[in-house]
Amino acid sequence: MTQSQIDSLRAQRLEPALHVVDGRRVPASDGGTMPVVSPIDGRQLTTCARSTRADADAAIAAARRAFDDGRWSGLAPAARRKVLLKWADLIEARALEIAVLGVRENGTEIGMALKAEPLSAAATLRYYAEAIDKLSGEIAPTDPAFLGLVHREPVGVVGAIVPWNFPLMIGAWKIAPALAAGCTMVLKPAETACLTLLRLAELGLEAGLPPGVFNVVTGEGTVVGAAIAESMQVDVLAFTGSGATGRRLVEAAARSNLKRVYLELGGKSPNIVFADAPDLDEAAKVAAHAIFRNSGQVCIAGSRILVERSIHKGFVEKLAAHAAAIKVGDPLDLATQAGAVNSERQLHRNLAFVAEARAAGRQVIGGARILQETGGYYMSPAIVADAEPGDRVFREEVFGPVVTVTPFDTEAEAVALANATDYGLAAAVWTANLSRAHRMVRAIRAGLVHVNTYGGSDLTVPLGGVGQSGNGHDKSLHAFDKFLNLKTAWVKL
């Protein structure tokens, strides 16, 4: 990857993006479009199709037909694996092209985007493709006069709704196990990040996915998302996004066919630093990158740092130094370490949290809009150095480059502060005390707890939350649980 390669791809003109439904690229039935605006400079890149309810229903019907006639679920596992592996190869071969396309649309810095988006998606497809023929049924240890068989069967049509921060990575966490299991899918991208997922669908067809197996429909959540959630033909809904939207999806599922709904709803993740941390400077550096990379637009971002009081002042100084060293700027510049905020609306939301903290008399370091001359949406890292548990910035997910630092005196207080949230997605503990580390892992209510690190867990382990961070798990073999039904056969011998 060179800067000249990136610049050449950046200069490419983009055609209007169309739905991918039933193996074809199609416009919205009424010709409607939505602008695709780049956060890099605030300019329109292209348009994507604005779906009508009829478009969404057509995609669902295509997925239903494709499942019911067995064109995918009826294939031998080895045949599905071959297609998924070829899909992964095609994505990897075009990884830089796809990464630049995504950065132009959502502002993630190119170094992170290449690894976290197309290369991650390819690796995820390979992981689940290779697992397909490792899944088997069970024979129950029952009365020898009977035979109890437990079959695993694909659940049917899966609806997926994914966010704008890492559309390919998060999308692949749902796409790969669902398709590997034999399901078919209708996917709705975020309104501000649709281009790479449409490209992914086109490559899937090139790899040999039968028409209707994987459909991507762009448009507004109130139209496409609502159609998926309310459909009597969708069997499972997998969603990553906000709690408010998640609640609406669950309500819609209840009003329709009681489809299973799996939710990953973000977090307010505590990053706890004890005075005996093995390397305080390393802890501060990792903490800075755990919140400020991708402009804080990461579900598991360590947005609440809890620091033992005896080291609080020194740690804030180290954290501020590392934050100041992060180069914020054009996400398609190889030297950039943190790119643009996804939208002007999100930028104003971030800045409002900072302004409120300052108005409350908190010590705030950074947190200004920068690079306005570019027309893009950029913000310097913000540290609220003395946040208190009652502060809104301490309690609510910002989803931007804003972190709070709060002192504590005892291990019990650290646990209480860590758990003083409705969320429970991720956490971290920095300590050289092995016993304390294990106590904290048990005591913190979160689906993922790091020890002396933050981020980087691979596909072999699950990611899921507790509380208002949602339910179900992405990643690992446990992801199959969402997309398989158990069927018992009870046979008298």
Residue 384 in contact with residue 407, Cβ under 8 Å? Answer: no
Instruction: Check if 317 is active-site.
Output: no
The two tokens of residue 48 are: 């994507």
Choose the catalytic residue: 191, 264, 308, 411.
264
CA gap 437, 455 in Å, rounded:
17
Residue 125 in contact with residue 85, Cβ under 8 Å? Answer: yes
| Alpha helices (H) along 143-300 | 167-181, 195-207, 226-230, 243-255, 280-292
CB count within 10 Å of CB 397 equals: 22
The DSSP line for 59-120 is HHHHHHHHHHTTTTTTS-HHHHHHHHHHHHHHHHHTHHHHHHHHHHHH---HHHHHIIIIIH
Residues 6+ positions from 16 with CB-CB distance below 8 Å: 27, 33, 46, 47, 48, 49
The two tokens of residue 394 are: 């301490």
End-to-end CA, the chain:
64
Helix H, strand E, coil C: the string for 380-429 is CCEEECCCCCCCHHHHCCCCCCEEEEEEECCHHHHHHHHCCCCCCCEEEE
Catalytic residues: 264
